[in-house]
Amino acid sequence: MRTPDGRVLAGASFGPADGEPVLFIAGAATGRSMAFGEDLLEALGVRLLTMDRPGMGASDADTGRTLASTVDDYREFVSAALGNADARVPVVANSQGGVFGLGAAAAGWATRLVLVSPADELAHPAIRAMLPAEATGLADLAQQDPAAAAEVLAGFDAEAMEQMVLSGSGPEDRAFYAAPAFLERYRSALAEGFANEGAGYIRDTLIAMRAWNLPFDRIRVPVSVLFGAKDLTHSPDHGEVLASRIPGARRIVFADAGGAFLWTHARAALEAVLDR
């Protein structure tokens, strides 16, 4: 579809065409090929919508892209996919995509939000205090000198991202990510994420690393924050601080899950977003 300013936004749909629409906002550097729970969508009656964020995959770049404009693009995409300019849908957001899910909830068009293994706001004082300096160095640079941070991020590619995710994960997550069935899907999504010389990935990461300035107090829809206790990468406190900032948010930590929660516990994520 085309945005009002003429840009192309590309997306995909999984599950039955007449299913209840759910928007899935994927994590860092992953495009429209990334999905989850495909074996459950038919039985649960869910149509999962995904989108290449601007500059990723087949979506045109937006050089001035912000958190707010990306949230607006998601809304335009959903409206076009459903043929309804006033469409409001439940949202599942994973990892670095969590900030866009929160933006959709604050904007009022997400009817329910499920954050699965969401990344924290690194600029938040309580989160910074939990992390070593080496974990916040790039975020500090992104805040102080975005152009310099963009140069650092430009040296990253799909292979480096794959290796970082695998090496930083616990043994169970690493085994899941390295399994052929998942790895093939992940590599396809990373190829989309790093299209256009990584322009979309760079912009995404700068948005996520800098202060979000989100109006958390405007979030009036049900929000669930789901984490695996064995998750070593997404949050130093498994989303405790993040959940405390969201009015009425429900946080659940699953003892038998890790960072791959979205795929290993897909039913829990889908049932949460469907409120079943």
Q: Give the CA dihedral 186, 191, 195, 197, nearest 10 degrees.
A: 100
pTM, full prediction:
0.97
Given a cut of 80, whether residue 276 has pLDDT beyond it is no
Q: How large is the C-alpha radius of gyration of the chain?
A: 17
pLDDT digits (tens, 9 = 90+) for 200-219: 999 999 999 999 999 999 99
In tens, the pLDDT along 127-154 reads 999 999 989 999 999 999 999 999 999 9
What integer is the mean pLDDT of 69-74? 98
Paired tokens of 197? 């010389």
**Which tokens hold the place of 236?**
């130093």
- Structure confidence at residue 164 (pLDDT): 95
Closest CA to 77 of 32, 28, 128: 32
Cβ(25)–Cβ(91) under 8 Å? yes
pLDDT band at 82 (very low <50, low <70, confident <90, very high): very high
Q: How far apart are CA 249 and CA 229, in angstroms?
A: 18
